[in-house]
C-alpha cells in the first residue's frame, strides 16, 4: 500500500516449477492465481496500482484460468466429449461465452476431439464383443456425442461387416451359458433378447437364433 493508502501489487510469485501459473499478492495478501500469459497481457508487475479495473480484469482472468486448469485435469484422466465437458464447466460456474471460447481452444489444441473419441469408443466396444448399430449409437450419444457424429463413426466402423455374422459370433458365445437351460424355447427367447440388447435389428436376431438353436 502506498503512502496515500492506494493498494498495490506487492508480489508476483510462480506457483509451479515451469512458471505457468503465478500468484498475485496485493498488500501482502494473495488475491488470485493466473497464467503467465495473463500476467503479461495485463502488464502486471510489482507496484502496479490495484484499481477496480485491474481487480475486475484479474478476477475474470483467474476464473477463466481455473476453468482451463480444471478442463485439462479432466482430459488428462480420460477423454471427454465437447458436450460433457461443457456440462462440467457449467457446473464449475463458467458463463456461456467463457465456456465456448475455452472449448474452441481445446478443440484447436486437439485434446478435445469428438470424432476421435467416437471412433475409439466404437472400436473398443466391437473389440470386446460384436454389436449392432443401435447399441453403438446409443453408447456414443450417452457420452455426449452428437447424433450425426455418432452415426458417422458407427457407419465407418461397421462398413464391410456382416450384421448376421456378427450376431452369430456374439450369439455363439452367449449360447454356452444358455445350454444349461432345459427348455429350448427359453433358450431362444433369452438369446433373442441378448442379441437385441447388443443392438441387432429384429430380423438379424431372429435369423441368428434360428441358425444357432435348431
3 confidence band (pLDDT: 50, 70, 90): low
Percentage of the chain lying above the pLDDT 90 cut: 84
pLDDT band at 17 (very low <50, low <70, confident <90, very high): confident
Three-state secondary structure of 37-73? HHHHHCCCCCCCECCHHHHHHHHHHHHHHHHHHHHHH
Is the model's pLDDT at 21 over the cut of 90?
A: no
- Residue 127's pLDDT is 96
What is the model's pLDDT at position 214?
A: 78
* pLDDT of res. 5: 66
- In terms of Cβ atoms closer than 10 Å to its own Cβ (0-12, 13-18, 19+), residue 143 is middle
> pLDDT confidence of 161, banded at 50, 70, 90?
very high
In this prediction, residues 194-200 reach a mean pLDDT of 98
Span 71-122, pLDDT tens digits: 999 999 999 999 999 999 999 999 999 999 999 999 999 999 999 999 999 9
Predicted confidence at residue 185, as pLDDT, reads: 94
Residues in a beta bridge with 8: 49
Mean pLDDT for the chain overall: 94
Answer whether residue 25 shows pLDDT above 60: yes
pLDDT of residue 38: 87
Q: Is the pLDDT of residue 167 over 70?
A: yes
Q: What is the pLDDT of residue 1?
A: 52
What is the pLDDT averaged over residues 125-152? 97
Helix H or strand E encompassing 208 = helix 202-212
- Going by C-alpha positions, the residue among 36, 43, 48 that lies closest to residue 9 is 48
The per-residue pLDDT for 85 is 98
Question: And the C-alpha cell for 36?
Answer: 503467465
Amino acid at each position: 500500500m502506498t503512502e496515500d493508502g492506494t493498494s498495490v501489487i506487492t508480489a508476483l510469485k510462480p506457483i509451479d516449477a515451469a512458471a505457468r501459473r503465478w500468484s498475485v499478492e496485493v498488500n501482502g495478501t494473495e488475491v488470485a492465481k493466473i497464467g503467465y500469459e495473463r500476467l503479461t497481457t495485463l502488464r502486471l508487475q510489482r507496484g502496479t496500482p490495484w484499481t477496480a479495473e485491474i481487480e475486475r480484469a484479474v478476477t475474470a482472468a483467474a476464473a477463466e484460468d481455473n476453468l482451463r486448469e480444471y478442463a485439462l485435469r479432466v482430459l488428462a484422466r480420460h477423454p471427454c466429449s465437447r458436450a460433457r465437458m461443457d456440462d462440467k464447466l457449467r457446473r464449475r460456474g463458467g458463463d456461456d461465452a467463457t465456456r465456448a471460447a475455452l472449448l474452441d481452444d481445446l478443440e484447436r489444441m486437439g485434446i478435445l476431439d469428438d470424432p476421435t473419441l467416437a471412433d475409439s469408443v466404437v472400436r473398443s466396444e466391437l473389440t470386446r464383443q460384436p454389436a449392432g448399430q443401435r447399441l453403438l449409437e446409443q453408447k456414443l450419444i450417452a457420452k455426449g456425442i452428437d447424433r450425426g457424429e455418432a452415426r458417422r463413426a458407427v457407419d465407418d466402423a461397421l462398413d464391410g461387416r456382416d450384421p448376421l455374422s456378427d450376431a452369430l459370433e456374439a450369439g455363439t458365445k452367449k449360447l454356452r451359458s444358455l445350454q444349461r437351460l432345459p427348455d429350448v424355447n427359453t433358450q431362444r427367447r433369452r438369446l433373442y433378447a441378448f442379441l437385441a440388447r447388443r443392438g441387432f435389428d429384429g430380423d438379424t436376431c431372429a435369423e441368428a437364433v434360428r441358425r444357432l438353436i435348431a
